[in-house]
Structure 1
Amino acid sequence: MISAEHDRFLRLKEVIHVTGMGRNTIYTRIREGKFPKQVKIGPKSVAWFQSDISAWMNALRSDG
């Protein structure tokens, strides 16, 4: 698990790379409540917490 001191923001390009999913799939799953929501980091910028993405991936591993 990633501690709060070591957590960082991931931009969409990195989330796509880490998860292997496409942009449309990510936003569809957010709408369905099946993927972590992004956080607003600026007036026109969003990102995801690395810890949220890691937790989501670990949950998939434990379901399978």
Structure 2
Amino acid sequence: MEKYRTQKKKLISISEVIDRTGYGRTWIYNLIKKNSFPMPVKTGERTIAFVESEVGAWIDENIFLSRNQAA
């Protein structure tokens, strides 16, 4: 638990994730099911959010992998 207290985190909504990735809601949930996208955080009884830095790292990793594949 101490690890999470020392670093400042920001939560973003699914709408923000959709805007940042360009993916639709259904596709994002499919990626989550496949453990290929950062897991959401439950913020309420029926609401979730995502850790902004995790989504950003996922985007960066996908850009890197896409640009560095053997041609």
- In which range does the TM-score fall when normalised by the shorter chain? 0.7 to 0.9
Matched letter for residue 48 of structure 2: V
Q: Greater share of strand residues, 1 or 2?
A: 1
- Aligned equivalent of 1:34, options 30, 33, 36: 36
Listed as ranges, the matches of 1:1-64 within 5 Å are 4-5=7-8, 7-64=9-66
Report 1 or 2 for greater relative contact order, CA contacts < 8 Å, sequence distance ≥ 6: 1
Within 2, Cα distance between the matches of 1:44 and 1:32?
21
For normalisation by structure 1, the TM-score amounts to: 0.85
Point out where structure 1 has 5 or more consecutive residues left out of the alignment.
none
Please give the root-mean-square deviation of Cα atoms over the aligned residues, in Å.
Answer: 1.0
For normalisation by structure 2, the TM-score amounts to: 0.77
Runs (4+) of structure 1 exceeding 4 A deviation are none
Point out where structure 2 has 5 or more consecutive residues left out of the alignment.
1-6, 67-71
Rg larger in structure: 2
